[in-house]
Structure 1
Amino acid sequence: MATLDEALAIALDLHTAGRTEEAETIYGRILDAVPDEPNALHLYGLLCAQCGRLEQAAELLGQAVALRPGQPEYRANLATLHQARGNLAAAAAEYRAALRLCPDSAALAFPLAGAARQMGDSGLALAAYRRTTLIQPDLAEPMAQAGILLRYAGRTGEAVSTLRRAVRLRPGHGEAWHHLGVALQRTREPDAVTALAQAVALLPEDATPRLNLGRAHYDAGRWGAAVAALRGALALDPANDGALELLAVARHKAGWEREAAMALRRLLRLRPDAANGWYALSLAEHGALGSLRRALALQPDHRNALSGLANRLRDQREIAASLRLHDRAIRLEPASAEARWNRSLARLLAGDLTGGWEDYEARWGVADFPTRPRGLPQPLWSGEGIAGQTILLHEEQGRGDAIQFVRYAPLVAARGARVLLEVGADLVPLFRGLPGVERVFARGEALPAFDWQCPLLSLPRAFATRLETIPAAVPYLSADPARIGAWRGRLAGKGLTVGLVWAGNPQFAGDRERSPGLAALASLLAVPGCRFFGLQLGPGHDELARRAMPPSFTDLAPQIRDFADTAAIMASLDLVVSSCTAPAHLAGALGVPLWVLLSHAPDWRWLLDRADSPWYPTARLFRQPRPGDWATAVGEVAAALAERAAHS
């Protein structure tokens, strides 16, 4: 008669040869003779698991573990069985027990990570993946999975370094390249596109890497490349709402609105109930409200459609209706930075500065906000006592914003603070000598130690500014007397002297609406008794090459070196006429007579339905009576100018 060990060996040979029925018979006879034989229980349990009898397998393996708790193989197999049955907590417990017995086993650490991840314990999963990589540093898979978890946890820097190691270990790991690209995109690293393109090549049937590649191109302003990647994503996943929406926006940015609208309409004929499709169409057909209303009829809680319709209503000056929709959007998604940012613009335009400033702080969470957070470790100053401490005030957004809100710097100094100011290099000469500012730094210069920091556009909130408390004493900036003397000599002569600015920064999202362009000023240039001086810099200056100018016009742009030069010129003029752009703010800050040409839906700082500005006492506002109607607004300026010239 065969011994127990001989019988087990025969059963195991049959088992491994696939002769499971014969093996099971022998395992059963062994256990009939010796019910607590752990090896037989273990092997029979594995056979039952292979045959799909998982409950019986779990009972047998559990008995084997109870008899030999120090056997890591038993625990590992029981853990695998628990995991297969969906009992993840029990699986993790057995893997951990096995690891305590074999602490240097990557084969145990790696599946523990998988079980922990399945049950949503990302902390345990990350620790187990990292333990695997410490035990066996040449394994790409746990390295990649650790990097992915780090990215999901918001630890982007660690994720990038971990994922870079993973793709070095396995250059063909498409998932690792994809997550590396997304992490690099979050930190705006230029090689994000390279990583995502690699992921697309390695995962040709996956739409998501193509979508993220499209986003990376979009963020970099490469509209054509974004469109190509997004088309690829939609070819694989035609119902991908994210790709659909972004494709519409990218086509709009590229000036391909007609193509975008046609493609979306084709899709909507096939899927008329696609709320996201109607929302995307609203991005391609900017003036229409019907597609947004259709999206909301299909999906009343569509947050983007709510915000989109609210923004359109704001642009149509229907502020009360706009704010109601913004409120709904925020109730649906209270943590949405974009929703709060959008509401801030409507609130500020309506004159609700208190609520507007609070919402305005959400700007740093908006994905395509033009200025990135500085990431300074010093706390944001929000109006706390600051006497005897040092604060850095720093520029954000455009030059006009810096000029408008630098008025608060002396007020901060008046609270007893030592004030440092950091701005673009072209503003340093203009801001140097601002009362209460100890030193002005160009962005990029080394900074001394400071206790607090505050972006310039957060200062109105810190001072709880309301319409009636706007610090509007002008001038709060002054031109260099030596430069004024030089320019007055050059500009001397008969007639009313008028500075002209007709265009802003074309990279600004609403520049087409706010900039009248040189051609729109033709009737203004015909006013007798005036001498006009072009102060236009940047891309708008190119319009001069395409238009014959009257003898009364002199282009000063080639002689302007910086804002300090522009300030000296303005201080030597009788009047500045400007579109909504930085020179308008400069003239207002200098206390120079200023006439501003405004679109029908102006930037929030100009408010609605008033001819004056609480920010600039010397400003007079000329508004379009209807969208796009510059002729009427410029005609009013021309009439006012003729009257002034006649009395000068």
Structure 2
Amino acid sequence: MTDALDFLRAGATALQRGDRAGAERQVVRALALVPGHGEAWNILGVLAVSAGDPAGGEARFRRASACAPENPAYARSQAECLKRQGWADRAAPLLAGAVRRGALSPDLACDLADLRLGARDVAAATALYRLALTLAPGHARSQNNLAEALGKAERADATADALVRLAVLRGTATAWGAAGAALLAAWRQDEARTALRRATALDPAAAEHWVNLGFAGLGRHAVVPVEAAFDHALRLSPGMDAARAGRGTLRMLTGRLRDGAADYEARLSLPSFVPSRSYGRPVWDGQVQSGKTLLIHADRGYGDAIQFIRYAPLLRAQGMRVVFHGPDGLLDLFRASELVDELSGLDGPPPAHDVHIPIMSLIHRMGTDLDSVPAVVPYLRAPGAAARRWTDRLAGVSGVKAGLVWHGSVAFPYHRQRSPGLEAVLPLTGIPGVTAVLLQVANGRSDLERLRPLGPVLDLGLELRDFADTAAAIQALDIVISPCTAVAHLAGALGKPVAVLLDQGAEWRWMHGRTDSPWYPTAHLYRQSVFGDWTEPVERLRRDLAAMATP
């Protein structure tokens, strides 16, 4: 036995020198003396893999595992060889068999989880990663891969938590930067700022940490440090489009619309802003050409289209033909408002055109600044038949008719921050002389299953088929109450008084610190003074509504 160990030691020494042939000769001598020596077969497997022979490696690791079934490392190496040959389906039962033999280890559990994740069985992968972390709480690979699995399951909060734990384990700028980015994606800006400050302190030259720090601060309207973060990112990486788009957002938030909108064009290179389809004609450069047809296409949410379609009649007045390509839910409303020459839905081909532009780029191409916002309202109107129908429907409603929305679309990650929910706005439903007309559709309606409004209400949410219907209902109301949703934009575009409930980090379009809106003269803004707390703005709005209802 001593001679065999000597041969193995000689083989290991040769391997360290890079002498693979010499190492193999020594190990073969050891096996001639002790054919069942698992570690000798393991070294031969390593030699085969290092020579680019995963099939040969797999055969030798299989022998090693047969000699020492209690050693999970051999089964793991055999499984890795199978994976390299494209046989992951054979690797999984091999590892599971090792577990059944009592050879469980954090690495083995993690390997099994990786296989399940590769097979898109996210639930099983997550459970196995958690098992590995139970066996070894500091197992960094499991923590990292768990975060990946949770990300694939679109569990933003759990992903962020996993990456924070990994950052604590590793303590590197990269790990803290990843944790900060995940916290930002989960819309947990305060925690993101803490993580990203650590990342920038550890690696001040990494532009991506600075840009994410800027976006995290935007969610709190921390104007001065946000601008500094974006500027720093651009000094480190002048061509970084995310930093330019972020700086543009910050500038527009603070009223520097012309410069901000120019920077904001960089968003079009970012994955989340790429239009859902391509257009073959050139992008409009802002030069008005009489007789040419400009296609305006919706590139984000309904609210964006409602806000910026105001530019269409201005361009038509200058001699351009303007057509629109956007979601079906807006077509009847835009057609009735006679804003464009032609329109079509996104499911079909766009109208013929010479040039095109994403609708949010109009603010830049039109050279808009704070003192030149086209703020004449109304620029939208409901179809006549719908307007008459809803006027008749609401004619018998007593008191101040206040339209109420409490939840926006969940398509955007900040929906939890911007949407107060029904419970937060319940005090607005119990005001003497005010009837709450519920305009809430889709997300948020589930609140009505567990909460009862405090006063008289009329629920129209199930009857509103599209924005033409909603516009017609709004025209028959006295005021609309909404967070930052398409309905708030719609009410403003109709010239209807609108109370907009805004979170502390509201979007740039509502500006910073203002109670009015340059885009909607009939809007009054009720902002949070404490992040996440709707009590104070709702109470201010409740008092104002009560005053409206007082004879």
Class of the TM-score when normalised by the shorter of the 2 chains? 0.7 to 0.9
Whole-angstrom CA distance in 2 between matches of 1:343 and 1:246: 30
1:485–1:374 CA distance, 2 compared to 1 (3 A): same
Counterpart of 2:383? 480
Q: Which amino acid counterpart does residue 572 of structure 1 have in structure 2?
A: A
Q: Is 1:325 the counterpart of 2:229 in the alignment?
A: yes
The alignment covers a number of residue pairs equal to 445
Contact 1:245 1:276 in 2 (8 A): no
User: Do structure 1's residue 271 and structure 2's residue 170 form an aligned pair?
Assistant: yes
Match status 1:645 vs 2:549: yes
| Partner in structure 2 of residue 617 of structure 1 | 521
Deviation at 1:270, TM superposition (A): 4.2
AA aligned opposite 1:485: R
Q: Deviations over 1:450-471 (max 9, x none)?
A: 1100111011111011111010
CA distance in 2, matches of 1:625, 1:504: 21
Say whether residues 1:567 and 2:467 are aligned partners: no
Q: Which residue in 2 is equivalent to 1:449?
A: 352
SS of match in other structure, 2:176: helix
Secondary structure of 2:190 counterpart: coil
Cross-structure match for 1:377: 280
Q: Tell me which residue corresponds to 2:487.
A: 583
Query: Counterparts of 2:204 and 2:482 in 1: how far apart (Å)?
Result: 42
Q: Distance in 2 between matches of 1:216 and 1:638?
A: 54
* Residue matched to 1:499: 403
User: 1:366-515 maps to which residues of 2 (within 5 A)?
Assistant: 366-367=270-271, 369=272, 371-372=274-275, 374-435=277-338, 437-493=340-396, 494-515=398-419
Given that 2:129 and 2:146 are in contact with CA atoms closer than 8 Å, whether structure 1 keeps it comes out as no
Q: 2:199 aligns with which of 295, 317, 322?
A: 295
What's the TM-score once normalised by structure 2's chain length? 0.72
Q: CA deviation at 1:361?
A: 1.4
Say whether the 8 Å CA contact 2:129–2:143 is kept in structure 1. Answer: no
1:407-430 per-position Cα deviation (integer Å, ceiling 9, x unaligned): 011112122111111111111100
Unmatched tracts of structure 2, length 5 or more:
1-80, 96-106
Offset from partner CA, 1:486-528 (integer Å, 9 cap, x none): 2122212331111000000122111111001001112111110
Larger Rg: 1
Structure 1 residues 630 and 390, CA, compared in 2 at 3 Å: closer, same or farther?
Answer: same
Partner of 1:539: 443
Are residues 1:548 and 2:448 paired? Answer: no
| C-alpha distance in structure 2 between counterparts of 1:572 and 1:459, whole Å | 31
Counterpart residue number, 2:537: 633
Which one-letter code corresponds to 2:517 in the other structure? Answer: S
Where structure 1 has 5 or more consecutive residues not aligned to the other structure, the ranges are 1-171, 178-196
Give the direction of change, closer, same or farther, for the CA distance of 1:448–1:331 in structure 2 (3 Å limit): same
Counterpart CA distance in 1 for 2:411 and 2:122 is: 13
Match of 1:345 among 237, 246, 249: 249
Percentage identity across paired residues of the two chains = 38
The equivalent position to 1:524 in structure 2, one of 428, 441, 445, is: 428
Give the Cα–Cα distance (whole angstroms) in 2 for the partners of residues 541 and 370 of structure 1.
Answer: 28
Secondary structure of 2:333's partner?
Answer: helix
Q: CA deviation at 1:290?
A: 2.8
Where does 1:61-210 land on structure 2 (aligned, <5 Å)? none
Given that 1:346 and 1:604 are in contact with CA atoms closer than 8 Å, whether structure 2 keeps it comes out as: yes
1:250 pairs with 2:154: no
- Assess if the C-alpha contact under 8 Å between 1:589 and 1:616 holds in 2: yes
Partner SS, residue 213 of structure 2? helix
Partners of 1:337 and 1:241 in 2: how far apart?
33
Q: Does 1:261 align with 2:161?
A: yes
Distance 1:214 1:355 in 2: 45
Q: C-alpha deviations, 1:182-225, integer Å up to 9, x for none?
A: xxxxxxxxxxxxxxx99x99xx99x9xx99x98998xxxx9869
CA distance in 2, matches of 1:577, 1:269: 44
Q: Give the Cα separation in 2 of the matches to 1:636 and 1:223.
A: 47
8 Å CA contact retained: 1:216, 1:226:
no
Q: Which has the higher contact order (CA 8 A, sep 6+)?
A: 2
SS of the aligned residue for 1:557 comes to: coil
